[in-house]
């Protein structure tokens, strides 16, 4: 098999592909076409019939498959062993992973095993003039975007959050399916998954919400936060947060928007007390309509906002809430999913 390919880890659970693998394939295809390389999707698990065709339709030239009952559900050490062996045998130039809980555990482990580098949470990937991969990562508190290179070691490895890249439209494409050797010593040693427990979704999922009311450090405390929750309820939306708001305990980890959190593309995003650092903006900048409330007229979030409200949110939100409530009660506007 050809060496120096661009590999994408096609994460799957229970035979269902994670969308981030398809998004990474879209970017890998773009890079491969520019550099005249080929793209391989790497698929590990058990009973994976049908998935290879989908990966080819989304841009893979080759699908490398390892099937074994020890590979379903995911377990760190067997996955690392199969991938490390495949990398040593086929010497990919680039290996991309989704920054999912699985990818964030597996990719660094594999990078260490192969003695190569890994750029985590990239927001873009491109080649420089020498054909080295530039792994674009927000750095220094989000104020700059750093280009990370890995010139001396291979593969060049990166993780990207789900939702940051766009998958390409599926096309009728065919390719080769190649079986990977499942390492003999797959004895299941090390940590093992005994049971999978799925937590029931209690709230409207943030990534799918049409309205997102997001709060930051400027909200200042739980009391202000409940104002945001009320506004989100009236608008039939979900509450998002910046990292400081999560660190303070006002919001849960899964509500964080940005480079290390979720990517949202709602029809309406309302940002309250959020400065607009790149780490956050990368997760909300594709929202259809952005309203930003900040008391600092120079706040960077205003650069991506359609409506700018300069002022103290504690003076702005209560009358806004009352006005919206009155309109809702008088039937002047309706919210999907709410009967009154």
Q: Given the rule CB under 6 A, which residues bind ligand FAD?
A: 141-142, 216-218, 242-245, 256-261, 273-275, 277, 279-280, 293-296, 299, 312-314
> Least CB distance from residue 257 to ligand FAD, whole Å?
6
> Least CB distance from residue 166 to ligand FAD, whole Å?
19
> Least CB distance from residue 290 to ligand FAD, whole Å?
14
Buried b (16+ CB within 10 A) or exposed e, 268-307: bbbbbbbbbbbbbbbbbbbbeebbbbbeeeebbbbebbee
By C-beta, is 23 or 61 nearer to ligand FAD? 23
Going by C-alpha positions, the residue among 12, 177, 161 that lies closest to residue 96 is 161
**Spatial contact of 310 and 220, defined as CB atoms under 8 Å apart:** no
Identify the sign of the CA torsion 81, 15, 32, 181: positive
3-class DSSP string for 184-218: CCCCCCCCCCCCCCCCCCCCCCHHHCCEEEEECHH
By C-beta, is 112 or 144 nearer to ligand FAD? 144
Alpha carbon distance 290, 269 (integer Å): 5
Going by C-alpha positions, the residue among 248, 227, 237, 234 that lies closest to residue 316 is 227
By C-beta, is 103 or 216 nearer to ligand FAD? 216
By C-beta, is 154 or 243 nearer to ligand FAD? 243
By C-beta, is 147 or 217 nearer to ligand FAD? 217
> Least CB distance from residue 228 to ligand FAD, whole Å?
12
> Least CB distance from residue 287 to ligand FAD, whole Å?
14
């Amino acid at each position: 098999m050809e060496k120096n390919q661009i590999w994408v880890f096609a994460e799957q659970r229970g035979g269902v592909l994670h969308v981030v693998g398809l998004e990474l394939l879209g970017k890998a295809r773009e890079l491969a076409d520019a550099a005249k390389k080929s793209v391989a999707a790497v698929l590990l698990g058990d009973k994976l019939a049908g998935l290879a065709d989908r990966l080819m339709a989304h841009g893979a030239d080759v699908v490398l498959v390892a099937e074994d009952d020890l590979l379903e559900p995911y377990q760190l050490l067997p996955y690392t062993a199969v991938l490390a062996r495949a990398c040593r045998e086929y010497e990919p130039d680039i290996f991309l992973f989704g920054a999912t809980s699985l990818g964030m555990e597996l990719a660094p482990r594999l990078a260490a095993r192969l003695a190569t580098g890994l750029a985590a949470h990239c927001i873009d990937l491109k080649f420089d003039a020498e054909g080295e991969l530039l792994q674009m990562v927000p750095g220094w508190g989000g104020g700059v975007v750093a280009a990370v290179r890995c010139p001396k070691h291979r593969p060049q490895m990166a993780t990207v959050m789900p939702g940051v890249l766009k998958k390409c439209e599926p096309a009728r494409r065919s390719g080769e399916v190649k079986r990977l050797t499942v390492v003999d010593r797959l004895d299941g040693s090390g940590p093992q998954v005994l049971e999978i427990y799925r937590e029931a979704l209690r709230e409207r999922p943030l990534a799918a919400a049409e309205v997102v009311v997001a709060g930051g450090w400027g909200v200042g405390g739980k009391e202000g936060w409940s104002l945001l929750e009320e506004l989100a309820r009236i608008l039939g939306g979900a509450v998002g947060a910046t990292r400081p708001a999560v660190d303070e305990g006002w919001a849960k980890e899964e509500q964080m928007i940005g480079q290390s959190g979720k990517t949202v593309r709602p029809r309406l995003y309302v940002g309250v007390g959020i400065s607009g650092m790149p780490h956050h903006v990368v997760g909300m900048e594709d929202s259809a309509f952005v309203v930003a409330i900040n008391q600092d007229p120079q706040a960077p979030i205003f650069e991506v906002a359609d409506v700018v409200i300069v002022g103290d949110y504690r003076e702005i939100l209560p009358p806004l809430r009352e006005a919206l409530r009155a309109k809702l009660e008088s039937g002047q506007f309706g919210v999907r999913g709410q009967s009154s």
